[in-house]
Structure 1
Amino acid sequence: MGSESENKSVLKEGFLVKRGHVVHNWKVRWFVLKPDRLLYYKYESGKRDSSHRGTIPLNNCNIICPYLEYENRPLVLRLQTSTSEEHFLEACKREERDEWAEAIGAAVQKLNPHKTQTPSSSQNKGSTSLQLHNVNLSQVVDSMYDVHTGIRLCSHVEQGSSYTNCFSGSAVVDWLVFNKLSLTRVEAVTLASALLDDGSLRPIGIRSADAQRNAALGEQFLDDSTALYCFSQSFQKRGSVKAEKSLSAVELSGKVVKRGYLLKQVSTPLSRVGLTEM
């Protein structure tokens, strides 16, 4: 009976990668979201440990999502507890990261109904209040192109075609929200659409080009990890900003079809796996 009641109190559970407190390495843990706390467990030999490894209290917890301080880990969210203890959690894809942020944010909001949460992906569904006539688009794109703090240029593969020195639509939205140029993802899409219409950004690949050609104004930019964009030719002549040095092993081996967590019977019990097709 107690076990059934305990299961009903689970709001969400699944794998995330957590940064260690003492040694800042990253390890896969099984997370269980309860109404007032987030528990995490080791998961080995196909089963979860009976006792949890740690607890993150959610009362007055602050959520930052996206959190882009880790250049090679763009899918991180940060939790800061009421005692200022920080926890960094990484998902295997953007949608999963945002689902966790939304679920945790909803739990925090129920614990603190009168407190306004820091803007995060859990608040991305409201109407936009961005006043584009107050925004200097040239300054925005200059900031995006900054060699130290700008958006990272990567290589992507779409339907068998390879593109270099580009970025996804969701990466643009993440960057705008994280750098507080937009409060929500909806506002960020509006701002990115203005940059697209202004010619500062241009679509590359089929998905983004079709959206710009067929969608209504303001909906031409896609907050999507498979829609690709790049800077205009005038910016590209300056040289690449934060361009990646080499293709990853997954990108070199073919098109990514699915990415996630699987258990495998080797020395490391749990690893992130990418499925590709040639």
Structure 2
Amino acid sequence: METERQGAVLREGFLVKRGHVVPNWKARWFVMLPDKLLYFKYEGGKRDSSQRGQVPLEDCEVTCPYLEYENRPLVLKLRTRTGVDHFLEACSREARDEWAEQITAAVNKLQAEGGEAAAGRRDPSGPHLQDVNLSKVLESMYDVHNGINMNQHVEQGSTYSNCFSGSAVVDWLVFVQLALSRVDAVTLASALLDEGFLRTVGVKSVEALRTGGEQFMDDSTALYGFSDSLKKRGLVRAETSLSAVELSGEVVKRGFLLKQGHRRKNWKVRLFVLRSEPAFLHYYDPTRDDISPAGGFSLRGCLVSSLNDNGVPLGVKGNIQGNLFKIITQSDTHYFIQAPTQQEKLDWIGALREQT
């Protein structure tokens, strides 16, 4: 996978994130930097070049395990300094605990390095964001009757729908008295952007975020929109009914992989679980749970082969990232799968071949 260039990457991989307003779960690619977690979505099997949000790690509280979600025992919770909760689900207990351990280490390092300097950066006369419930601010902003107006905007010849300008956000926050001044409103809007509640739209706001300048721009030409997590999506129905016998084997390997659909040929993140005795490979929709598989097949008589990343192999569609391999079942059904890294691809191929 292509790594983030904004700083030293400490860890990266798929996690399933719970939405803030619409409480659905979506698979995202997370990149951990020394002071923040960035997350991205996938388009056609390839990571989107623009980040969908971030979780600042300064003074972050980590709860692991977090066991309040039924049928989701692999969740960890991050509470940011501004009191926003982020719920992230890993593919296994080992992965969950590793993420939690590394995040905790990063938080402790930031606290040790920051000390009095971090306290000095906070202006006691300014807005106290630790006392602001950002989720409530977002709900008010998103309200269909009294929230901010979403319009169509044109920037550098491109048209963007359902968005608003930076200055419109600042105007609205001051008008509804969520901020006392434009300076306070910019600080509050920056926190909304920093927590992933808002996203950049168009060239100007994206470039401002990338260059590390003023994070949120009080500008009529800088465009923003609501996070994609506010868009409701229907649940995916299970493709196959599977017997209890198929799920009775010992779990050999678990992990997030990208699978190409058989009908639409689109790529989706799926949680794959490899079992032995009997040898089956099942895949789950991670936006739901790991109880009811979306599909699965016996590995008896299967052929597992690595695919060359140079060019697009026959039968593969879309804008692929790479690290491809193929499984051909005994009934001649072809499954095309992408692993996040070359090493994970080799590990999966080795584990699958041991069961065939």
Which TM-score applies when normalising by structure 1?
Answer: 0.48
Which of the pair has more CA radius of gyration? Answer: 2
Using structure 2 for the length normalisation, give the TM-score: 0.38
